[in-house]
Structure 1
Amino acid sequence: MRLWSVHPRYFDRQALTAAWREGLLAQSVIAEPGRGYSNHPQLARFRETAEPLRAIGTFLSGLVDEADARGYRFDRSKIREAKMGERMLVSDGQLAYEWSHLLAKLQRRTPELWERWCDEAMPEPHPLFTVVPGPIASWERPSS
Structure 2
Amino acid sequence: MRIWSLHPAHLDRAALVACWRETLLAQAVLAGRTKGYTRHPQLERFRAQADPLASIGAYLSSVADEADARGYRFDRTRILRPGSAVLVIPVTEGQLALEWQHLGAKLEQRSPSDATRWRAATPTPHPLFTVVAGGVEPWERAV
Q: TM-score, normalised by structure 1?
A: 0.94
* 1:64 matches 2:81: no
Deviation at 1:84, TM superposition (A): 3.3
After superposition, residues 1-144 of structure 1 pair within 5 angstroms as 1-32=1-32, 35-82=35-82, 83-120=84-121, 122-143=122-143
- Check the 8 A contact 1:28/1:35 in 2, yes or no: no
**Percent of pairs with identical residues:** 55
Q: CA deviation at 1:76?
A: 0.5
Q: Deviation per CA, 1:32-83, whole angstroms, max 9, x where unpaired?
A: 0762100001001100111100111111011100000000000011000032
Gaps of 5+ in 1: none
Stretches of 4+ moved more than 2 A in 1? Answer: 82-85
The DSSP-based 3-state class of the residue aligned with 1:9 is: helix
Asked whether the equivalents of residues 90 and 129 of structure 1 are also in contact (C-alpha less than 8 Å), the reply is yes
Deviation at 1:142, TM superposition (A): 2.9
CA shift for structure 1 position 116: 1.1
Amino acid at match of 1:101: H
Q: SS at the partner of 1:130?
A: strand
Give the CA deviation at 1:117. Answer: 1.5
Structure 2's unaligned 5+ residue stretches are none
Give the counterpart letter for 1:69 in structure 2: A
- Cα distance in 1 between the residues matched to 2:3 and 2:117: 22
**Matched length:** 142
- 1:132 is aligned with what amino acid? V
SS state at 2:91 partner: strand
For 2:67 and 2:27, locate their aligned partners in 1 and report how far apart those are by CA, in whole Å.
Answer: 18
The 8 Å contact of residues 51 and 84 in structure 1, kept in 2 or not, is answered as no
CA deviations 1:1-53 (Å, max 9, x no partner) are 00000001011110000000000000000000762100001001100111100
